[in-house]
Amino acid sequence: MQISYEKLAEILDSQSSLLVVHGESSYSLSGVEAFLKKLVKINKIHSWAVKSKDPDSKEIEDLSSFIKKVKPSLIISCGGGTVIDTAKASSFLSRQGLDLLTLLEGKRNKFSRKVEEIVIPTTCGTGSESTHFAVIYINNIKHSLADESMKPQYFYLDGSFLINLSPKHILSSGLDAFSQSIESFWAKSSTDESKLMSSEGMGLFVENYNSLLKADNLLALGSMLICANKAGQAINITKTTAPHAISYYLSKKLNLPHGFSVFLTLPEIFQFTLSEASIKKNKLDVERIYRCMGCKDLDGATYLLKEIRKQAALYMEIPSLSTREIEELSFNASQSVNEERLFNHPIRLSKEEIFELTYLGLREVFLS
């Protein structure tokens, strides 16, 4: 639930002890550290700086042990997706009395007591403050831990906490929210509610994307936080599909931000998926997708996605790749895809089609 400044202050005033989970540098740079120092009146405050680039099983286990030791009455997570997911997973692990691998297998202690959580996002991408799952990496392999109790009770959105983000991170996190919105809308598991949220997410992105890097961009940043939150609410119902499933391997191998990694294949998969859906009379409501994007048809929407990717690439540290390296990356990415995410895609994609679409996207980014 989104809360106001007044409600946030009221909740903080009622606590006996706090644990603040935050990024190593983003906590100070975002302004959240100074913001909380003015609000928090109690002396019993514990802090944990997340060091992992992605939610890491070892750090989650260590933080879980720390939570059991200090016994906070409230956990505040301030940061991007890695920080928020690390806090969510650690809190869940700490109260379950089971090890992480057992939880990933789906086993649960039903009588665990939940610690209240407040999330303060400092990026505009994941929408993790509105989801009941967390990404976890074990030996560089991505897993997803899910439980309805993992969804935080409260979140506080303030665009001013994003002002000091680099262009690379603003754009990449925004691309992640946009991708989630598109994928949630067309997912097999979509509902009327998720489609409403994802439609709003798509619209907010298109309306505000061009203003994100302007000097007076506070309004756009605030709108993008709402965009990410809407996308988070949508994927909390549906989860994501093929572009996200492919992105994790590419992000690791190319050392590129997650949101941009999703966009390495999104335009190509978008064009192929909606073209096939139209041929097969799939009930995707493609016209609604185009309207949300401010476009008239598939060609216009695909062009928009490719232009957005081309503009964002200017702010990324793009490695130099040969045609042979692109072929190898595309093949390996096609073989590494999470089958669950593929099943949620609106049309069936073979490994060969994934390879071809990934190859087309990587060629356009790395060889154009």
Per residue in 199-248, pLDDT tens? 999 999 999 999 999 988 999 999 999 999 999 999 999 999 999 999 99
What is the C-alpha end-to-end distance of the chain, expressed in Å?
Answer: 44
Which residue carries 């042979």 as its tokens?
324
Beta strands 18-23 and 74-79, pairing class: parallel
Residue 151 and residue 19 share a domain: yes
pLDDT band at 280 (very low <50, low <70, confident <90, very high): low
Residue 337 and residue 208 share a domain: yes
Quote the domain boundaries for residue 150. 5-160
User: How many Å separate Cα 52 from the centre of its chain?
Assistant: 16
22 strand-pairing partners = 49, 78
- Taking the C-alpha atoms of residue 181 and residue 238, their distance in angstroms, rounded to an integer, is 10
Q: What pLDDT digit, counting tens, does each position of 129-162 carry?
A: 999 999 999 988 889 999 999 999 999 999 999 9
- Taking the C-alpha atoms of residue 340 and residue 172, their distance in angstroms, rounded to an integer, is 24
Question: Domain ends where: 133, 160, 187?
Answer: 160
**For residue 215, what pLDDT is reported?**
85
Q: What pLDDT digit, counting tens, does each position of 71-97 carry?
A: 999 999 999 999 999 999 999 999 998
Which of 192-196, 279-283, 327-331, 358-362 comes out lowest in average pLDDT? Answer: 279-283
Residue 264 and residue 130 share a domain: no
Residue 145 and residue 211 share a domain: no
Which residue carries 């301030």 as its tokens?
78
The residue with greater pLDDT, 342 or 265, is: 265
Q: Specify the CATH number for the domain of residue 184.
A: 1.20.1090.10
pLDDT band at 282 (very low <50, low <70, confident <90, very high): low
From the list 183, 177, 237, the residue with the least C-alpha distance to 209 is 177
Q: What pLDDT digit, counting tens, does each position of 24-45 carry?
A: 999 999 999 999 999 988 878 9
In three state form, how does the secondary structure of the chain look?
A: CECCHHHHHHHHHCCCCEEEEEECCHHHHCCHHHHHHHHCCCCCEEEEEECCCCCEHHHHHHHHHHHHHHCCCEEEEEECHHHHHHHHHHHHHHHHCCCHHHHHCCCCCCCCCCCEEEEEECCCCCCHHHCCEEEEEECCEEEEEECHHHCCCEECCCHHHHCCCCHHHHHHHHHHHHHHHHHHHHCCCCCHHHHHHHHHHHHHHHHHHHHCCCCCCHHHHHHHHHHHHHHHHHHHHHCCCHHHHHHHHHHHHHCCCHHHHHHCCHHHHHHHHHHHHHHCCCCCCHHHHHHHCCCCCHHHHHHHHHHHHHHHHCCCCCCCCCHHHHHHHHHHHHHHCCHHHHHHCCCCCCHHHHHHHHHHHHHHHHCC
Residue 119 contacts residue 129 (beta carbons within 8 Å): yes
Question: Domain ends where: 160, 186, 210?
Answer: 160
Q: Specify the CATH number for the domain of residue 33.
A: 3.40.50.1970
Average pLDDT over residues 10-23: 94
Question: Domain ends where: 160, 181, 206?
Answer: 160
- Taking the C-alpha atoms of residue 186 and residue 346, their distance in angstroms, rounded to an integer, is 6
Beta strands 133-138 and 141-146, pairing class: antiparallel
Residue 231 and residue 129 share a domain: no
Number of structural domains (the chain) is 2
- Taking the C-alpha atoms of residue 347 and residue 275, their distance in angstroms, rounded to an integer, is 10
Residue 144 and residue 39 share a domain: yes
Backbone angles phi and psi of 135, in degrees to 5: -80, 140
- Taking the C-alpha atoms of residue 46 and residue 143, their distance in angstroms, rounded to an integer, is 28
Backbone angles phi and psi of 74, in degrees to 5: -150, 140
From the list 177, 185, 212, the residue with the least C-alpha distance to 81 is 177
Residue 201 contacts residue 136 (beta carbons within 8 Å): no
Residue 154 and residue 178 share a domain: no
**For residue 26, what pLDDT is reported?**
93
**For residue 238, what pLDDT is reported?**
95
Residue 145 and residue 249 share a domain: no
pTM of the predicted structure, to 2 decimals: 0.93
**For residue 164, what pLDDT is reported?**
93
Residue 276 contacts residue 347 (beta carbons within 8 Å): yes
Which of 129-138, 265-274, 338-347 comes out lowest in average pLDDT? Answer: 338-347
Residue 100 contacts residue 60 (beta carbons within 8 Å): yes
**For residue 279, what pLDDT is reported?**
67
Residue 353 and residue 242 share a domain: yes
Residue 149 and residue 170 share a domain: no
For the chain, the average pLDDT equals 93
Backbone angles phi and psi of 27, in degrees to 5: -60, -45
Q: Is the pLDDT of residue 2 over 80?
A: yes
* Contacts of 22 by beta carbon, 8 Å cutoff, 6+ apart: 32, 33, 47, 48, 49, 50, 77, 78, 79, 83
Q: Is the pLDDT of residue 112 over 80?
A: no
**Percent of the chain at pLDDT exceeding 70:** 99
Residue 170 and residue 112 share a domain: no
From the list 67, 28, 73, 29, the residue with the least C-alpha distance to 48 is 67
Residue 88 and residue 237 share a domain: no
